């Protein structure tokens, strides 16, 4: 078995492997990936420099080892699919994906929405029943859902988030009907287990990507109707202030991914606890430079501060999804 290269992420290994296949073969594989996977792998390919022979050897060897672990029949085995997706994505994300693959049936219409820009999706679903809009938002990735939500009428957002938070799955028959309807619209003209869509975590993830002003208004609407529900959603959200609860090793990993300019902007509007956490995990020289930048930087727009903080939180969530850090606090899992 080839020794794993600890300096390469799974996405980077996939990018290297595809680059070794040649354009035609790589294209055949990429066309079967989803939009987020294509974006991640494409970004990794673009960033690749000085790929060594050892890096190629490691990536190809790990792929071969993974293939050798497949069942004799390979694709099509439900247990195999469940295990691979759970190992790759974690229990929570894998459950939703498995439901779509093994339970929800064909979702061609819904999947097409993932390739559309947020404006196009918003225009397509704007006049649908709020429950249909909530299902669509639950199906999309959280960052795309947040963009779509921001383009929908402001007075509907709180209601949509409550519907998502209290959603207890969707019947396959309803999913098929919705999917068929979307396919017809995009062209221009059963009994079973519920699919694992919606829920508190889904609502919290979407709100994590919504700008702070909109997030506050939506949370206020939810609180007025159901204070307990609002509290549960808030408990599952991860904000910039929650970085104070991330362990030192996680902060150090995060800082390697964050630009100095974004860090200065984000810290301009942060609590002292966050600043102390950041400085604690920097070298003396880097800390002194950051302090000087904070002192000399003049007044900045609140929107710029919030945007910088959102970007850092997005990086933190990506690192958590990749298993490189544990967020802890509100959005993290309990450690035992």
The per-residue pLDDT for range 209-218, each reduced to its tens digit, is 777 788 888 9
Rounded to two decimals, the pTM is 0.46
Residue-level pLDDT at 89: 59
Residue-level pLDDT at 269: 76
Residue (of 325, 255, 327, 238) closest to 289 by Cα position: 255
Q: How confident is the model at residue 149 (pLDDT cuts 50, 70, 90)?
A: very high
Residue-level pLDDT at 79: 60
Structure tokens belonging to residue 159: 């209601």
Q: What is the mean pLDDT of residues 155-181?
A: 84
Between 184 and 227, name the one with better pLDDT.
Answer: 227
**In 10 A of CB 316, how many CB atoms?**
25
Residue-level pLDDT at 22: 76
Between 39 and 158, name the one with better pLDDT.
Answer: 158
**How far is 274 from 316, CA to CA, in rounded Å?**
14
Mean pLDDT of the chain: 77
What are the C-alpha distances in Å from 112 to residues 180, 202, 237?
12, 20, 28
**Lowest-confidence region among 6-10, 225-229, 298-302:** 6-10
Between 173 and 141, name the one with better pLDDT.
Answer: 141
DSSP state of 70: S
Q: What is the mean pLDDT of residues 67-78?
A: 50
Are 150 and 82 spatial neighbours (Cβ–Cβ below 8 Å)?
no
Q: Which span out of 42-51, 83-92, 93-102, 246-255 was modeled with the highest average pLDDT?
A: 246-255
In percent, how much of the chain has pLDDT > 70? 77
Q: What is the mean pLDDT of residues 52-72?
A: 67
Between 326 and 95, name the one with better pLDDT.
Answer: 326
Q: How confident is the model at residue 127 (pLDDT cuts 50, 70, 90)?
A: confident
Give me the domains of the chain, ranges plus CATH numbers: 1-69 (1.10.220), 104-236 (1.10.220.30), 240-321 (1.10.220.30)
Residue-level pLDDT at 301: 87
**How far is 141 from 303, CA to CA, in rounded Å?**
24
**Lowest-confidence region among 5-9, 108-112, 278-282:** 5-9
Residue-level pLDDT at 2: 42
**How far is 266 from 306, CA to CA, in rounded Å?**
7
């Amino acid at each position: 078995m080839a020794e794993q290269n600890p300096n390469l992420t799974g996405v980077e290994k996939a990018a290297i492997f595809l680059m070794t296949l040649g354009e035609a073969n790589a294209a055949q594989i990429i066309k079967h990936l989803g939009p987020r996977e294509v974006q991640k792998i494409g970004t990794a390919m673009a960033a690749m420099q000085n790929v060594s022979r050892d890096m190629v050897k490691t990536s190809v060897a790990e792929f071969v080892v993974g293939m050798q672990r497949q069942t004799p029949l390979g694709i099509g085995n439900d247990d195999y699919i469940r295990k691979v997706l759970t190992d790759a994505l974690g229990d929570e994300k894998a459950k939703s994906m498995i439901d779509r693959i093994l339970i929800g049936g064909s979702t061609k219409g819904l999947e097409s929405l993932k390739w559309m820009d947020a404006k196009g999706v918003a225009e397509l679903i704007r006049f649908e029943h709020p429950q249909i809009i909530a299902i669509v938002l639950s199906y999309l990735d959280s960052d795309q859902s947040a963009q779509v939500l921001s383009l929908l009428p402001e007075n509907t957002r709180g209601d949509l988030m409550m519907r998502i938070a209290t959603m207890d799955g969707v019947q396959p028959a309803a999913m098929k009907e919705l999917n068929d309807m979307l396919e017809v619209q995009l062209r221009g003209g059963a009994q079973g287990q519920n699919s694992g869509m919606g829920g508190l975590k889904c609502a919290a993830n979407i709100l994590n990507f919504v700008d702070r002003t909109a997030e506050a208004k939506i949370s206020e609407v939810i609180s007025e109707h159901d204070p307990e529900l609002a509290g549960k959603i808030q408990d599952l959200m991860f904000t910039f202030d929650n970085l104070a609860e991330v362990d030192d090793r996680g902060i150090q990993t995060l800082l390697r991914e964050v630009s100095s300019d974004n860090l200065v902007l984000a810290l301009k509007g942060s609590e002292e606890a966050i600043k102390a956490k950041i400085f604690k995990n920097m070298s003396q020289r880097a800390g002194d430079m950051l302090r000087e930048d904070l002192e000399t930087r003049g007044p900045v727009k609140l929107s710029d501060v919030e945007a910088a903080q959102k970007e850092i939180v997005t990086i933190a969530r990506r690192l958590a999804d990749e298993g490189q850090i544990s967020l802890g606090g509100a959005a993290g899992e309990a450690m035992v």
